[in-house]
Amino acid sequence: MTIQIVEIIRRSEQGVTHPFICRGSDDQIYFVKGRGAGRHSLISEYLCGKLALSFGLPIADFVVVDVPDILIKASLAADTQELGSGLAFGSRSLAHVQEIQFHQLKLVDIQICKDVLMFDWWVRNSDRTLSEKGGNPNLLWDQTDRQLVVIDHNTAFEEKFDRKRFASNHIFADLLPQIFGDLVERELYTQRFQKSFAEFERACGTVPEEWWWVDDGVPAQFDKDAIKSSLTDFNKDFFWSIP
């Protein structure tokens, strides 16, 4: 389902890509990433969203949205050109959530922490850091339901994924040795990876066709075959070790 954007409210001050806060035809508010985010980012967000749902992560609802050209032309804000018209990625805004703070990490269920960690390890997403000194967690905390909400996979599928850096900097990196050293947990995660991997081709088939192209005849820099191959690394011994 594609939701049409009917109003561009403002640009968010949070996040690396500073998504645009928009109202959809369903009267819901969305954080929208468009042209300025880049094709690789949009495809990564969408595919990781589909894989995360299959994996069982508590990810924020997302949809493909359509930004009418008339809204861009009518906008008085110069930076709306970075949103651009056409199909974009929309993450639905949630009530009663805020970016998670370091002192709130102890409130998160340990299994959810492990799941976020292993999913990021699998899809090569290093952009989830937080310490007492700050960071960029890309995680929300629902104050009412006291639950974690996962957002932002725009930098996933890193071509030059630094496993050592990930094992040092990820928000839940301290849990890696515990998981890797437990054969039962490894087997359980292997089964979950297999289940989610089966969704990859299906998800690729539902990516908006225009996202695969930067311009007429110029393909987006997204090597689907290489990424598909990297997603099978859970079958290899090195995947289950810290460099």
227 near 161, Cβ under 8 Å?
no
Q: What is the pLDDT of residues 19-57, one digit of tens each?
A: 999 999 999 999 999 999 999 999 999 999 999 999 999
Residue at 50 is within a domain: yes
Q: What local confidence, expressed as pLDDT, does residue 118 receive?
A: 98
Residue at 177 is within a domain: no
> Hey, how many other C-beta atoms are within 10 angstroms of the C-beta on 90?
28
Q: What local confidence, expressed as pLDDT, does residue 56 receive?
A: 97
Q: What local confidence, expressed as pLDDT, does residue 200 receive?
A: 97
Q: What local confidence, expressed as pLDDT, does residue 15 receive?
A: 65
Residue at 76 is within a domain: yes
- How far from the centroid of its chain's Cα atoms is residue 240's Cα? 23
127 near 206, Cβ under 8 Å?
no
Interior/surface letters 31-65, b for 16+ CB within 10 angstroms, e for the rest = bbbbbbbbbbbbbbbbbbbbbbbbbebbbbebbbb
Question: DSSP characters for 104-135?
Answer: GGGGS-HHHHHHHHHHHHHHT----EEETTEE
Q: What local confidence, expressed as pLDDT, does residue 76 receive?
A: 82
Q: What local confidence, expressed as pLDDT, does residue 13 receive?
A: 81
Domain count, the chain: 1
Q: What local confidence, expressed as pLDDT, does residue 199 receive?
A: 96
Structural domain for 38, as ranges: 2-92
Q: What local confidence, expressed as pLDDT, does residue 1 receive?
A: 83
Tell me the sheet residues that pair with 134: 131
Phi, psi of 148 (to 5 degrees): -85, 145
Q: Please enumerate in sequence order all residues whose Cβ is within 8 A of that of 111, keeping only pairs 6 or more positions apart, or say none.
A: none
The dihedral region occupied by 181, where left means phi > 0, alpha psi between -120 and 50, and beta the remainder, is: alpha
Q: What local confidence, expressed as pLDDT, does residue 74 receive?
A: 92
Low-confidence ranges of the chain (pLDDT < 70): 15-16
- How far from the centroid of its chain's Cα atoms is residue 203's Cα? 14
Residue at 19 is within a domain: yes
Residue at 195 is within a domain: no
Measured CA to CA, the distance from residue 114 to residue 119 in angstroms comes to 8
Residue at 144 is within a domain: no
- How far from the centroid of its chain's Cα atoms is residue 188's Cα? 23
